[in-house]
Chains A and B, each alone.
Chain A
Amino acid sequence: MSTALRGTWPALALFAFAALFPLFVRDAFFLDGLILILLWGSVASAWNVAGGYAGQVSLGHSIFFGLGAYSAALLGTKWNVSPWIALVVGAALATVMGVVIGFLSNRLRGPYFVLATIAFSQVFLIVGSRWRGFTSGSEGIPVPFRPGFWTLGLVDKRIWAYLMLALAVGVYLIQLYLERSRRGYQLAAVREDEDAALSLGVPARRLKVAAIAVSAALTAMCGTLWAQYVGFVDPFYVFSVDLSVRFALAAVTGGIGTALGPFLGAALITVLETYLRARFGGIGAGLVGIYLIIYGVALILIMRFTPEGLVPWLGRLRRRPAASPAS
């Protein structure tokens, strides 16, 4: 038991805090912040499964998020289907798409893979915004609000917070599995040196495709919940490159290939964004874009000074005083 939990205390503390928070805080503004941090942390973690653990850095993950979101919106409006079923449908569609993309771009590495994923997401953006008969085109679709848990029409933000917490813990556990299991080690081997991994009999191609598929399914589930929470699906948002960058940004800021990193990154980004929105909202609404300038500059600085992200950096800071007397 103690070995299974080793190194996870910061995450346990974070999730415990998130679990206790809604018990004491009823303020809608802060609950909304918590929900968004857990949601964006979960999406970033889902991205991390492919981008961090498998080394398949994608800037097209908004495809999967959008598939999840559109599943909720279209199934809800057209056939009156429960979002819980849309969750499964979206995840299944995203898995298929993940396998297709993973399989087609299997040979590609580095910038080539990034370019391919951007191209795929642009195709989805165009289809989502132009196929007016099915997706309502660029107008977007409002997600119907039907009260009840089965229809996910929840007014109480506390229930949303616990739903997102369950999602976050689930995605965190999947990442932990990738850090500690045999399959996870194989994946790390593929990421570090694919040719060497292949020569040792690691099924590199299958593992990469599987990682993208799992990552896609998780991203789609986040997309469904997001659409249900926010209540509106806009193709220019859910299929945009900006959104994909946002997922990657949280993971990269917090620590690419670490289980806690995406949550830390998402927390930082969401707090900064919310603060600036509150500060400059209304008259100076244009200034809200400042947070994106700060992101961009922060990303450049992180890449410059601690490219592995904040979690490994904090880990080093903590270990350094302990290590110095020994040496």
Chain B
Amino acid sequence: MHVIPQLVVSTLLLGGIYALIAVGLTLIFGVMRVVNFAHGEFLMLAMYLAFWCFALLRLDPYVTLVLSLPLIFGAGWLSYRLVMRPVIHASHNVQVFTTVGLSIALQNLALVLWTADAHFIRTPYYAVVVRLGGAAFNLAQTVAFVIAVLATAALFAFLRWSYTGKIMRATAQDRQAAALMGIDTGRVYSLTWAVGVTCVGVAGVLLAPVYPVYPTAGLQFVLIAYVAVVLGGLGDMAGALIASLIVATVEVVGSYLIGTAWKEVLYLLLFIAILVVRPAGLFGQRGAEAIGT
């Protein structure tokens, strides 16, 4: 059986990228209690960034990645300042519609500026295939996986050991108590939002050499991230990581068994089943979904 190692490798490669998108989403939710419906648009914008740097400046996407980190972080911080800060204490519905509004605006900005055509990055290593232990896989995808894993690990280390990370986790646990301890929660929110956007931005640049970019490119990835994030328990970082692998498994095994055309239905049904049976996620606290927090 040569199929099994190939499936395992494909799952890991996909899962790594999904994880990076999902941890950004779940971090924002965990600390700010906001589901970012514009998450996919930040992914799309980062893909365009990589594409234009490649098309106009002949910059390799991996060079772009390093150079654009401050830019993506800054864009995230700015979007928090302009859009999210005024509604951070508003009701869930107000926040949902604010991020939906941001999503519509960004998506159509891309549409007006760069049309609906799909763009591709053809790097010299576009078709390079790596063979390892009976499995074959795309080089760009492997690099994306490795960087995604490193970025995710760095984020976990940052949250676990740095002082700022501890402040963020404290705010996630109890924003009022955190404020009483002298934590400037407003700054924590802006930092969290910017870090979450940076995660998905890095994922976007990494995906650019592998997938075509168009104005609604973010939707398919962010849907998967929603599934992973709810499956792992909204706000649960480690849960999102494991759930990303589960979703990737469902996708890879599903497309092997029933074909790629219907694979989305599989994880959407998984998503609905989770929401119905255990909305707090596999590892979350029961009842979180009913409080709506």
- Say if the beta carbon of B159 comes within 8 Å of chain A: no
CA distance in complex: A202, B94 (Å): 26
Closest to B115 in A: A286
* In the complex, chain A residues whose CB is within 8 Å of the CB of B101: 295-300, 303
Cross-chain contact A304 with B86 (CB below 8 angstroms): yes
Q: What is the 8 Å Cβ interface bit string for chain B, positions 75-119, against chain A (1 contact, 0 not)?
A: 000000001001100111111111011111111110110010000
CA distance in complex: A295, B100 (Å): 10
Q: A108-B275, A111-B96, A304-B98 are in contact. Are A126 and B108 (CB under 8 A)?
A: no
- Say if the beta carbon of A112 comes within 8 Å of chain B: yes
- Say if the beta carbon of B230 comes within 8 Å of chain A: yes
Cross-chain contact A126 with B262 (CB below 8 angstroms): yes
- Say if the beta carbon of B223 comes within 8 Å of chain A: yes
CA distance in complex: A280, B25 (Å): 37
CA distance in complex: A287, B115 (Å): 9
Task: Give chain B nearest CB distance to A268 CB in angstroms.
Answer: 15
- Say if the beta carbon of A146 comes within 8 Å of chain B: no
CA distance in complex: A127, B261 (Å): 10
* In the complex, chain B residues whose CB is within 8 Å of the CB of A55: 93
* In the complex, chain A residues whose CB is within 8 Å of the CB of B30: none
- Contact of B112 (CB < 8 Å), options: A122, A127, A290, A299: A290
CA distance in complex: A256, B96 (Å): 14
- Say if the beta carbon of A248 comes within 8 Å of chain B: yes
CA distance in complex: A21, B226 (Å): 47
Cross-chain contact B292 with A293 (CB below 8 angstroms): no
Interface stretch of the complex, out of A76-84, A113-121, A215-223: A113-121
Cross-chain contact A295 with B104 (CB below 8 angstroms): yes
Cross-chain contact A245 with B100 (CB below 8 angstroms): yes
* In the complex, chain A residues whose CB is within 8 Å of the CB of B29: 111
Task: Give chain A nearest CB distance to B22 CB in angstroms.
Answer: 13
Q: Is the interface of B mostly helix, strand, loop or mixed?
A: helix
* 8 A Cβ contacts from B180-196 to A: none
- Say if the beta carbon of A12 comes within 8 Å of chain B: no
Task: Give chain A nearest CB distance to B144 CB in angstroms.
Answer: 25
Task: Give chain B nearest CB distance to A257 CB in angstroms.
Answer: 10
Cross-chain contact B272 with A123 (CB below 8 angstroms): yes
Q: A292-B108, A300-B98 are in contact. Are A57 and B275 (CB under 8 A)?
A: no
Cross-chain contact B35 with A115 (CB below 8 angstroms): yes
Cross-chain contact A300 with B275 (CB below 8 angstroms): no
CA distance in complex: A111, B98 (Å): 12
Cross-chain contact A289 with B111 (CB below 8 angstroms): yes
Closest to A120 in B: B272
Q: A108-B289, A130-B261, A286-B112 are in contact. Are A303 and B94 (CB under 8 A)?
A: yes
Cross-chain contact A296 with B268 (CB below 8 angstroms): no
Cross-chain contact A107 with B289 (CB below 8 angstroms): yes
Q: What is the 8 Å Cβ interface bit string for chain B, positions 22-38, against chain A (1 contact, 0 not)?
A: 00000001000011010
Q: Which residues of B contact A (CB under 8 A)?
A: 29, 34-35, 37, 83, 86-87, 90-98, 100-109, 111-112, 115, 219, 223, 226-227, 230, 234, 261-262, 264-265, 268-269, 271-272, 275-276, 279, 289-293
Nearest 10 pairs between A and B by C-beta?
A: A296-B105, A299-B101, A110-B292, A296-B104, A110-B92, A109-B292, A292-B108, A111-B35, A300-B101, A289-B111
**Interchain Cβ contacts under 8 Å between A and B, 10 examples:** A108-B275, A111-B234, A114-B37, A287-B112, A292-B111, A293-B104, A295-B105, A296-B101, A296-B103, A307-B87
